Structure 1
Amino acid sequence: MTSVFDEGPFEPCPSPFNMAAYVLEAGLQMPEKDALLILGAAGVERWNYAALERAVRGTATGLLSLGLVPGDRVLMRLGNTVDFPIAYLGALAAGLVPVPTSSALTEAETRTVLTTASPAAVLRDPDVACVPHDLTVDLAQLRGFRDLSPATYHMGDPERPGYIVFTSGTSGVPRAVLHAHRAIWARRMMFDGWYDLRPADRLLHAGAFNWTYTLGTGLMDPWTQGATALIPAPGTAAGQLPDLMAEHGVTLFAAAPGVYRQMLKDQRILSLPALRHGLSAGEKLAPRVAARWRAATGTEIHEAYGMSECSTFISGAPRRVVRPESLGQPQQGRRVALLDADGPVPRDTEGTIAVHRSDPGLMLGYLNAPEETAARMQGDWFLTGDQASMDEEGQITYLGRNDDMMNAGGYRVSPIEVEAALAGAPGLTAVAVTDVEVKADARVIAAFYTAPAALDEAALASYVSETLARYKQPRLYIHLPELPMGANGKILRRALRAGFEAAT
């Protein structure tokens, strides 16, 4: 039996279609219901569905009034505020193509984004770094759009471009991933296959508004069901989350594994009577963290696997029995296989996780990079680059990357990008970067370098901070007499990782 999961296709996306109209449709059956609660020390900011839709459609009107036309790209350089999802949905409502980006990007990094995406406009919070652009909409103007008359949703082919997200490439250059409007329709498979998401749910996501994990799992998905999304205000510590969850009757909680670790630091029992379960994605969840959460709350954490190119398509779920070391199973409606060079491998055999080109959540391709897009395909299968095995029940066990990509708090980071940023540091002669385990279930980015003598770590950190977002910056700088090389002269990053972890 081969490692292929295919139990039939998911129902097709309706046409004509608009992602923003679809996301807000269910909530408008209950216009006064809370769509969003922002939980802060000073109180709660509330948005009901009627107010949210007015703001979204007013924003669409404002963007179109600038002379933008459907299909134009709009770069989002906004902070961790409600402005982010309103602008995102407003652009989609107008038929524009939003390009959401992390506010952590440096000015130098935004230059690459602008060159690649060629946006017609930039929506910008003045506190968020960005190189200048001819058409920049500042935050005050953007907020003013909300009170304009509502635009008509731009309906069209669900296959047309919807939005663009950036992800680290193995070459070290961030790749622009172009998704269709129908990508949101594919997320319906998660409702039963991961969340058990219901209209009455109150889902709290621990991430920032301007993280794509939060944008999808924390906002778009609950809104699609007419549920209530809750987001902690900026500056909320992980240790404050349990009290907020109890106070506001949170039924579902989503976070990256690192947040769960921080919440469990003090070993106390967490009293969360409304909580049904937790959700985890972004990086591999350690079984011991899941076990500690179970002991502290009496609930499970259901893990999901995905990527920028196809969101999450393998997951655990409340109605499935998942082995502790397993990611879970492909969601119903997905076509997933584990491949080697000859095609699907036998069950219980290592292969590369691949998703079928027919998946409605699969990207349209890398923007302006048809050859790179084609290189990720093997016949009708998109290759993720992650290795796994599939057992007889279809459960998938993650075995790691087949390249040197790193994971930094849920973000994939190319070591080549970090090495390029460090290469010109004064006194440094060579550098190699990888992620290393510094304690149980905690990994950080480490830079191993050669130089005539050990360099000042603060100076190295300052140097790299000018060109790299914080989450891409090394946390460790390790001086070595030489870097390990293979016979072909390639740096052996895995050897660096193994040597560091063996010595600590």
Structure 2
Amino acid sequence: MPPSPLSSETPVPHGIAPAARFNLAAHCLAHAARAPGKTALILVGADGAERWTYGALDEKVRRLAAGFAGLGLEPGARILIRAGNDAGFVIAFLAAIAAGYVAQPTSSQLTLEEVRALADDSGAAAVVLGQDHLGERAGLAHLRIIDPDEMAALAAAPPLAGFAPTRADDPAYLVYTSGTTSRPKGVLHAQRAILGRRPMYADWLGLTEADVLLHAGAVNWTYTLGVGLTDPWAQGATAVLYNGPRDPAVWPRLIEAHGATIFAAVPTVFRQVLKACDIARFDLSRLRHGVAAGEALAPRLIEDWHAATGTWIYESLGMSEVSTFISCRPGAPIRPGSPGRPQRGRRVSVLPVEGGTDPLPAGETGLLAVHRSDPGLMLGYWRRPEEEEAVMRGDWFVGGDLAAFDADGWLWFHGRNDDVMNALGYRVSPLEVEKALADCPGVLEAAVAETKVRADVSVITAFVVPRPGAALIEAAVLAHCGQHLAAYKCPRRVVLVDQIERTANGKVSRKAMARRFAAAAD
């Protein structure tokens, strides 16, 4: 097939054959052999900073990996990680992969009900249960529970002499993401996934081993696990995370205190920092730039941040199935309103919505697609072959993002082709939220949609039809959702309506409801 003018002729170079020996954890900790005394991680909390050198982190991971290997789990077993925003989570993630198992990180925001559903779907064999989640022991009793005491005992084992002899295409970790169904689906990534991230080091992060990267997210989010931890370690840089009380003013303090050269966050955090404090009071002289992902970056926010700090924010666009592949490049001009261009070495195209594998020319809107040769592309959806088939077109993985390239190769995002919502950087299935709403006392029918708070900020809104005679109040509906859904999935507001908008064929029209709400608000 002739390449799109917006695609590279050459697949992403990764230097290994699929059958070659390669372990993601070993790759991330390879710097331990070259500079064991260099600081790999600074985890800042309310009581001070916890520091890990590359040498100490490598030894701890290999000790815990040896302990995991002694549990008698079957090869490829899933180890679910249910822990807080701490070093234990990070070490358990790497140790599971180092021992040849599949790490399954989960958000601490999930309810026990949601975690059980994920464990059942993945067939997890064990769960690492952090201190803050010990009260869930009974609800996860069907799994091999590894609590903090056992973690400490397992980590006392003699360290593995070497990492598990996995191949590049062997599974390494399993993350769950919301799609168009009522239940999250598992995205299975290979050991080689870390190599698929290399194009972003120059073309988005601008990351070298001399950098100190501060990430504003929690370790259980894949954005943080990747950009905040494994990417700095793969480059031999220093990662800084924070697990203290949430206060937007803490970020410039941390940039100053630890000499951060790169600050990574969602756009909302950058906005909160500018609003919460006088940023000019802090010494940000070592900060080269910020990077943003997860939600659209408003041009005005870029301008305001640059005026306040003298640095730019570089945006990116990606998918859980392949990470980021479109981005703005540090040192190069930004085109406000666009998340960037394909990273060098990527094969990215826009394909017709109605089908076909011939890339559309510049200026035409279609579905954003990534070539299957990309080493960062997932192995597949866990036990969902029908969904894998739906997203593959010949040699292209096709997501649900509508986009177009301009004549200069810049991407312009035109929303989703499906109803998947974006809540502060998290993808949320409307069906999953509607399923929880359907069980709420007094609710006859419900639908949810993204609605605009401001031009650059959207929230999840629930449109609810009350049962006859029911006296529904917004607080009760929101409280019910909070009992069954992670906080980021919960609606932020409830609108009582007489009926749910539908299309001519009877399907819920979420876009129509969002438009009606916007019109009423005006």
Give TM-score scaled by structure 1 length.
0.97
The count of corresponding residues between Structure 1 and Structure 2 is 504
1:41 is displaced (CA, Å) by 3.4
Q: Is the 8 A contact 2:182 2:432 kept in 1?
A: yes
Shift in alpha-carbon separation, 1:218–1:369, aligned structure 2, 3 A: same
Give TM-score scaled by structure 2 length.
0.94
1:65 is displaced (CA, Å) by 1.2
How far apart, in 2, do the equivalents of 1:126 and 1:448 lie?
Answer: 37
What's 1:253 paired with?
A: 263
What's 1:228 paired with?
A: 238
What's 1:8 paired with?
A: 10
Match of 1:48 among 44, 53, 78: 53
Q: Answer yes or no: is 1:38 the counterpart of 2:43.
A: yes
Counting only pairs closer than 5 Å after superposition, residues 193-232 of structure 1 correspond to structure 2 as: 193-232=203-242
What's 2:342 paired with?
A: 330
1:503 is displaced (CA, Å) by 2.7
Amino acid at match of 1:333: G
1:224 is displaced (CA, Å) by 0.8
How far apart, in 1, do the equivalents of 2:306 and 2:155 lie?
Answer: 43
Q: Is the 8 A contact 2:296 2:456 kept in 1?
A: no
Q: Deviations over 1:46-88 (max 9, x none)?
A: 1111110111001101111111243111111111111111000
RMSD: 1.6
Q: Answer yes or no: is 1:352 the counterpart of 2:367.
A: yes
Unaligned runs of at least 5 residues, structure 2: none
Amino acid at match of 2:347: R
How far apart, in 2, do the equivalents of 1:269 and 1:84 lie?
Answer: 32
% identity of equivalent residues: 48
1:320 is displaced (CA, Å) by 2.8
1:23 is displaced (CA, Å) by 0.4
1:13 is displaced (CA, Å) by 4.1
Counting only pairs closer than 5 Å after superposition, residues 15-414 of structure 1 correspond to structure 2 as: 15-128=20-133, 129=136, 131-151=140-160, 152-266=162-276, 268-270=278-280, 271=282, 272-340=284-352, 341-342=355-356, 343-414=358-429
Q: Is the 8 A contact 1:5 1:394 kept in 2?
A: no
Q: Is the 8 A contact 2:59 2:159 kept in 1?
A: yes
How far apart, in 2, do the equivalents of 1:491 and 1:38 lie?
Answer: 45
Q: Is the 8 A contact 1:183 1:361 kept in 2?
A: yes
Q: Is the 8 A contact 1:326 1:395 kept in 2?
A: yes
Shift in alpha-carbon separation, 1:450–1:236, aligned structure 2, 3 A: closer
How far apart, in 2, do the equivalents of 1:56 and 1:266 lie?
Answer: 38
Amino acid at match of 1:468: L
Match of 1:478 among 469, 488, 495: 495
Q: Is the 8 A contact 2:315 2:328 kept in 1?
A: yes
Shift in alpha-carbon separation, 1:105–1:41, aligned structure 2, 3 A: closer
Unaligned runs of at least 5 residues, structure 1: none
Partner-residue secondary structure (3-state), 2:459: strand
How far apart, in 1, do the equivalents of 2:518 and 2:286 lie?
Answer: 41
1:266 is displaced (CA, Å) by 4.3
How far apart, in 2, do the equivalents of 1:446 and 1:350 lie?
Answer: 28
Amino acid at match of 1:356: H
1:326 is displaced (CA, Å) by 1.0
Amino acid at match of 1:478: V
